[in-house]
Structure 1
């Protein structure tokens, strides 16, 4: 199969995941770039951030006006991760690739476990399938974790984004659901704000510090297909319940984690 067709197929899957689930773009893009398209790990992380940034803008546009974005929570969450994202992006190229792969797989598995717990906890909770409550009238996030919980989770996510070269949606969604108690649909929309800001910061830092170049033969088709996939992903999300989205997200994360660990050990 040609590089062009592979890039188009992988981009479409990444876009749909990000549009429907509010994450999963980077966690799918990095393995696809490395294992299927032969991109070096350093270049894959940078390329992934460009892809996730472009698809996040598209997905965010689709979610805007639907009541599924807690803007204050998302902006506070993202702001807390700006400095950690920049700092870890500057250090990422100095860490051995096997260490990064293990960390990547472990975090994906932990996020999947958190989502599965959240699915069980959400059963029987009225209104879970709806957009969820709006931000509080005082201007503070409506999430039960409060500002301190939002800042702590955001800082940790920013560090992961910078270190692993992913947008962080695969961790932002579980954090917003499990830590900040947002309903799944609202967590999906809100995570796109976090993903976009973290990706921009990490990408700018990587390009400034490492100067990694991007292969247009892979980058162009991948981004184009991902943007179209993200646009359609929002329609898929509207057809599924919050619990179904959580289960799909968890299965996706577990599959990626298992594949990366097996490949590392074999």
Structure 2
């Protein structure tokens, strides 16, 4: 199968995940870039940020049109994560490749566990009344994760928005895309050296397919229950995490 076809298929899957779940696409983008398309871990994390930024901005526009973005809380989350994202992005290019691969495997497993955990009913402030300290703390951690591993962090942002700020799922998905876009842009700004080596002939089709897939993912989210989507995605993530961990240790 040609590299172009593989890039298009992988991009469509990444877009579906981002559009339907508000995150998780980059957790598949990085291993796809490494194992299907031959990128090094460092180049894959940079390429993933490019793809996730383009896809998230497109999906954010669609969610904003339907009123599913909480701009005030999302801006607070994003602002807290900008500096950590930029700092971690600069550090990532200096880490050994097996370390990056193992760290990514651990994060993928963590994401799968979070998705498999049953949701819980919560009570608290309205979506327009965020808790500044807790929002900022979560934003710092997610920003660092984005910069270091090239993941948007939506698979952690969505649960954080639901549990910390008592968002409804639709608002959490839409707002997470704002946070992902901001953190990814901040991290990319510090990755100039690795960005110059990215194969745009692969990244372009990958990103294009992801953008189209995100639109389909948003429609899919209205037809399939969020719990079922998360369970399927979590199983895929666990398999990816196991494969990458074995690869890093051998």
Output the TM-score relative to the length of structure 2.
Answer: 0.91
Q: Cα gap change, 1:181/1:262 in structure 2, threshold over 3 Å: closer, same or farther?
A: farther
Q: CA contact under 8 A between 1:108 and 1:257: conserved in structure 2? A: yes
CA distance in structure 2 between the partners assigned to 1:61 and 1:147 by the alignment: 25
Counterpart position of 2:86:
86
Q: Gaps spanning 5+ residues in structure 1: where?
A: 127-132
CA distance in structure 2 between the partners assigned to 1:50 and 1:39 by the alignment: 14
Q: Cα gap change, 1:253/1:188 in structure 2, threshold over 3 Å: closer, same or farther?
A: farther
Counterpart position of 2:111:
111
TM-superposed deviation, 1:210: 4.3
Q: CA contact under 8 A between 1:17 and 1:23: conserved in structure 2? A: yes
Q: Cα gap change, 1:231/1:211 in structure 2, threshold over 3 Å: closer, same or farther?
A: closer
Q: Cα gap change, 1:74/1:255 in structure 2, threshold over 3 Å: closer, same or farther?
A: farther
CA distance in structure 1 between the partners assigned to 2:126 and 2:78 by the alignment: 18
TM-superposed deviation, 1:175: 2.1
Counterpart position of 2:241:
257
1:179-218 correspondence to structure 2 within 5 Å: 179-207=164-192, 210=194, 212-218=196-202
Question: Deviation string for 1:18-61 (max 9, x for gaps)?
Answer: 11111112111110000000112221111111100111111112
Q: CA contact under 8 A between 2:49 and 2:184: conserved in structure 1? A: yes
Q: CA contact under 8 A between 2:4 and 2:205: conserved in structure 1? A: yes
Q: CA contact under 8 A between 1:74 and 1:193: conserved in structure 2? A: yes
Output the TM-score relative to the length of structure 1.
Answer: 0.86
Counterpart position of 1:129:
none
Task: Report which stretch shifted further, 6-15 or 182-191.
Answer: 182-191
Counterpart position of 1:135:
127
Q: CA contact under 8 A between 2:18 and 2:24: conserved in structure 1? A: yes
TM-superposed deviation, 1:249: 4.0
Aligned Cα RMSD in Å? 2.0
Partner SS state of residue 225, structure 1: helix
Counterpart position of 1:102:
102
**Corresponding residue pairs, total:** 249
CA distance in structure 2 between the partners assigned to 1:96 and 1:106 by the alignment: 16
Within the candidate set 134, 147, 159, 1:162 is matched to 147
TM-superposed deviation, 1:196: 0.4
Counterpart position of 1:231:
215
Question: Deviation string for 1:89-122 (max 9, x for gaps)?
Answer: 1111111122222221212222322333342x24
